[in-house]
Structure 1
Amino acid sequence: MAGAIVSTRTGQAPEPAKIAVSHVTKTFTLGRDRFVALDDVSLDIADNEFVTVVGPSGCGKSTLLNILAGLEEPTAGSALVDGAPVAGPGPDRGVIFQQYALFPWLSVRKNVEFGLKIAGMPRARRRERADHFIDVVGLTEFADVLPKALSGGMRQRCAIARAYAVNPSILLMDEPFGALDALSRVKLQGQLLEAWGRERRTVLFITHDVDEAVFLANRVIVMAARPGRIFDVIDVDLPHPRTEQVRLSPRFTALRNRVWNSVYHHEHGGDPTPPPTAD
Structure 2
Amino acid sequence: MSTVTPKIEFRGLSHRFELGAGDFAALDDVDLSIAEGEFVTVVGPSGCGKSTLMNAAAGLLTPTGGEVLVDGAAVHGPSPQRGVIFQQYALFPWMSVRKNVEFGLKIAGVGQAERRAKAQHFIDLVGLTDFADALPRTLSGGMKQRCAIARAYAVDPTVLLMDEPFGALDALTRVQLQDRLLDTWSRDRRTVMFITHDVDEAVYLANRVIVMAARPGRVHQVIDVGLPYPRSEEIRLSPEFAELRRQVWHAVYHQPTTLEGSP
Same fold (TM over 0.5): yes
- CA shift, 1:34, in A, is 1.4
SS in 2 for 1:16: coil
- How many pairs align? 257
Structure 2 unmatched ranges of 5 or more = 259-263
Q: 1:230-269 residue pairs with structure 2 within 5 A?
A: 230-266=219-255, 269=257
Q: In structure 2, give the amino acid aligned to 1:181.
A: D
Partner of 1:79: 68
Partner of 1:16: 5
Q: Quick one: which of 127, 132, 135 aligns to 2:124?
A: 135
- CA shift, 1:269, in A, is 3.7
Q: Whole-Å Cα distance in 2 between the matches of residues 28 and 145 of structure 1?
A: 41
Structure 1 unmatched ranges of 5 or more = 6-14, 271-279
Q: Quick one: which of 215, 218, 221 aligns to 2:204?
A: 215
Q: In structure 2, give the amino acid aligned to 1:132.
A: H
Q: Whole-Å Cα distance in 1 between the matches of residues 227 and 83 of structure 2?
A: 26
- TM-score, normalised via structure 1 length: 0.90
Q: 1:22-41 residue pairs with structure 2 within 5 A?
A: 22-41=11-30
1:98 corresponds to 2:116: no
1:46 corresponds to 2:35: yes
**Where do 4+ consecutive residues of structure 1 move more than 6 Å?**
none
Q: In structure 2, give the amino acid aligned to 1:142.
A: F
Residues 48-93 of structure 1, C-alpha deviations (whole Å, 9 max, x = no match): 1000000011000000000001111111111100110000000110
Q: What's the Cα RMSD here?
A: 1.2
Partner of 1:107: 96
Q: Whole-Å Cα distance in 2 between the matches of residues 133 and 213 of structure 1?
A: 25
Q: Whole-Å Cα distance in 1 between the matches of residues 104 and 188 of structure 2?
A: 18
Q: In structure 1, give the amino acid aligned to 2:89.
A: Y
- CA shift, 1:168, in A, is 0.5
Partner of 1:189: 178
Q: Whole-Å Cα distance in 1 between the matches of residues 67 and 116 of structure 2?
A: 38
User: In percent, how many aligned pairs have the same letter?
Assistant: 69
- TM-score, normalised via structure 2 length: 0.96
SS in 2 for 1:141: helix
